[in-house]
Amino acid sequence: MCIGVISTYRRRSFTTLTAAMTSETTATIIDGKSVAKQIKDEIASEISRMKETTGIVPGLAVILVGDRKDSATYVRNKKKACEAAGIKSYEAKLPEDSTEEEVLKFISEFNDDPSVHGILVQLPLPRHMNEETILNAVRIEKDVDGFHPLNIGRLAMRGRQEPLFVPCTPKGCIELLHRYGIDIKGKRAVVIGRSNIVGMPAALLLQREDATVSIIHSRTKNPEEIARQADIIISATGQPNMVKGSWIKPGAVIIDVGINPVDDPASPRGYQLVGDVCYEEACKIASAITPVPGGVGPMTIAMLLSNTLISAKRVHNFE
């Protein structure tokens, strides 16, 4: 039984379970951790070939503002992953009470530094800062997070200029589907959540892959009914265990982006991480599912390395 928060998405509850839910079917577990490792190995060997033939070392600059523990962990993990792949990392750590101007100054320095091929501002920023102003200051050629409005705009406009980078988490979701041989073309896809970082770009990527896409958000009426039509669900709401078994069509593929801490005094950290989707229930109904942890999370960092390599190759015309 999955226990989650009561969310605005859940307007009515379903009492009848589908037949598949009571059967013994078990979904394929989409192992993001292994896929991410494989991709990071592929990137490391490409970087080593690039270094040998041209001497070029890709560089990634990370800007961290404030003292959030989770953000500090993600930045540390990004740095470690860069080192292992042969990417040089540059770091700017600023205190919580820094001004926007101070952050913009670092962005400007990294924008002008030719050894930096990618710039990333760790999110969320402190509340007194304007995220848009800061993300807009990153040169689009170095926007390895793909959050610049020009890159997002290009993602939305097919047949015109292509985005230089695609946001890492949604890119990782699609990569998982590809690497598990899951067809997207012509499928009904439902994205739950419409954030700029995950939900919206995930929906844009799915429709670029020729899926028929719906987005469920906090004002959607009857979200269960819409979700139950999906062949593929990508959930990115940050609401623990919100998507119950009753939301899932038998045989659907579930990509769970949520990484939600819930109190667990028995665990060494005092909490455990759960997804947006009630995993136990979903495993009995879906054909494939990403676990939390070990699903989409590790792909975010693998895609960041991939975008940094793309940037370095583009700057130096390396094939």
Ligand X SMILES: Nc1nc2c(c(=O)[nH]1)N[C@@H](CN(C=O)c1ccc(C(=O)N[C@@H](CCC(=O)O)C(=O)O)cc1)CN2
Contact 168, 307 (CB under 8 A): yes
271-274 and 188-192 strand pairing: unpaired
Give least dist CB 195 to ligand X, A: 10
- Residue number with CB closer to ligand X (237 or 246): 237
Peptide bond just before 114 cis, omega within 30 deg: no
- Residue number with CB closer to ligand X (58 or 298): 298
Q: Does 231 participate in catalysis according to the annotation?
A: no
Q: Give the separation between CA 210 and CA 184, rounded to whole angstroms.
A: 7
- Residue number with CB closer to ligand X (50 or 164): 164
Residue 215 phi, psi (nearest 5): -115, 130
Catalytic entry in 31, 142, 143, 145: 145
- How is residue 313 written in tokens? 């190759």
Q: For binding to ligand X (CB under 6 A), which residues are involved? A: 74, 120-123, 145, 168-169, 259, 273, 292-294, 297-298, 300-301
- Give bridge partners of residue 253 from the DSSP assignment: 232, 288
- Residue number with CB closer to ligand X (50 or 64): 64
Q: Does 145 participate in catalysis according to the annotation?
A: yes
Catalytic entry in 122, 171, 249, 276: 122
Q: Does 207 participate in catalysis according to the annotation?
A: no
Q: Does residue 193 come out as left (phi exceeding 0), alpha (psi in the -120 to 50 range) or beta?
A: left
Give least dist CB 18 to ligand X, A: 28
Give least dist CB 145 to ligand X, A: 5
Residue nearest to ligand X (CB): 297
- Which letter does DSSP use for residue 277 in this model? B
- How is residue 290 written in tokens? 């990403």
Alpha helices in 23-124 (DSSP H): 32-54, 69-85, 100-112
Supply the residues annotated as catalytic.
Answer: 78, 122, 145
